[in-house]
Amino acid sequence: MDPSQNPASSRHATDILAMGDALVDVIATCDDDFLTRFDLPRGAMQLLDEPQALALYDAMGSAREMSGGSAANSMAGAAAMGADVAFVGQVADDQLGTIFTHDMRALGVKFDTPPLTEGPSTGRCLILVTPDGERTMNTCPGAAHCLSRDAVDEAAVRAASILYLEGYLFGPELSRQAMFRAIDIAHAAERTVAFTLSESVCLPGRREPLQKLIAAGGIDLIFANESEALQLAGAADLDEAIGRLSTQVRTLVFTRGPAGALAFENGLTTEVPAISVPQVIDTTGAGDLFAAGFLAARCKGHPIDRQLMTGGIAAAEIISHFGARPVADLADLVKL
């Protein structure tokens, strides 16, 4: 099934079912000296244990707290654009887990994964934004990486047109096996499996099982920024990456920041320019919302150029303010 030709809303109970980290974002501004003092990788993401996360949280000062996680952000955006969406992710039975659950449901996202009553606390991502709008993410996954195969609802996967998987969740073996189960169910039901890369999934030890999954035809659509694409493909430039990946993945979608975005599908390359914004405030969630716009337009049956443009509009809205959840009326902006 090709959702670009068959609108999901007319055939399936759910447009998109996503699996990813269930996190609460804690966002604060800082200067470059702060990053240097705490030896934080500027513009990148690193994993923290709970003591490290507590120490950094204490030093951050005033911050905004809201539910987050890459695929969760995408589903919040897609729901705002009129898509019927659901999310699978693991929280704990604690205050942050309650916040996450309430936020997702209030945004119109179906979220029914039972919370853990034992084990680590709900995950959180400590995000530091420098004056140029660049974000440095410090993630303590906690309960998010305890997602198991038992949390995958077969009926829910079969009911969705697109299964959307988050790269950050692919690292731990437990949640990776949950993803594999969901992929098997989705493909048995002839659904599309989409995967959004992350820098973490391109690390040695994680890249190899992902490459094996791709080579076996497990992924139908990949989202990546240019750096992630080159790392995954072991390529020197984007053309080489497309050449290597396109033999195994039907649809490739690459974001390139100010250079816009492109897709390679059915042997054709489609490019669109970036959407201009007066000032970049915070790039947190830009890729997440791009994927949301792309998939929402795809499920509505729009052509590939419109899918890319819708992703660009959604990403532009997100980088114009703090946080990875839309503030403006996305449905009005994209007019799907």
The per-residue pLDDT for 283 is 79
The per-residue pLDDT for 306 is 97
Q: Mention every residue, 6+ apart, whose C-beta is less than 8 A from residue 266.
A: none
Facing residues of 139 across strands? 47, 125
Residue 87: phi, psi to the nearest 5?
-140, 140
CA-to-CA distance for 183 and 156, rounded, in angstroms?
Answer: 12
The per-residue pLDDT for 54 is 85
Tokens (6 digits) for 133:
């709008």
- Residue 19 zone, left/alpha/beta (φ > 0; ψ -120 to 50; rest): beta
Domain residue ranges of the chain, discontinuous segments joined by +: 14-21+68-111+146-326
The per-residue pLDDT for 1 is 42
The per-residue pLDDT for 44 is 86
The per-residue pLDDT for 11 is 54
Helical (H) or strand (E) element with 102 = helix 95-106
Residue 82: phi, psi to the nearest 5?
100, 5
Polymer length in residues for the chain: 336
CATH topology for 14-21+68-111+146-326 is UDP-N-acetylmuramoyl-L-alanine:D-glutamate ligase (3.40.1190)
Alpha carbon separation from 244 to 231, 235, 236 (Å, rounded): 12, 8, 11
Q: Closest Cα to residue 319, out of 276, 281, 274?
A: 281
CA 331 to chain centre: 19
The per-residue pLDDT for 277 is 87
Q: Which DSSP symbol is given to 201?
A: G
Q: Residues in the chain with pLDDT < 70? A: 1-12
Residue 170: phi, psi to the nearest 5?
-80, -20
Tokens (6 digits) for 4:
């670009």
The per-residue pLDDT for 107 is 93
Note if the pTM is more than 0.75: yes
Q: Is the Cβ–Cβ distance between 322 and 129 less than 8 Å? A: yes
The per-residue pLDDT for 201 is 86
Q: From the CB of residue 203, how many other CB atoms can be counted at a distance below 10 Å?
A: 12
* pLDDT tens figures, 51-69: 999 899 899 988 888 888 9
Q: Closest Cα to residue 221, out of 265, 167, 268, 160?
A: 265
Q: Got the DSSP string for 79-97?
A: HHTT--EEEE---BSSHHH
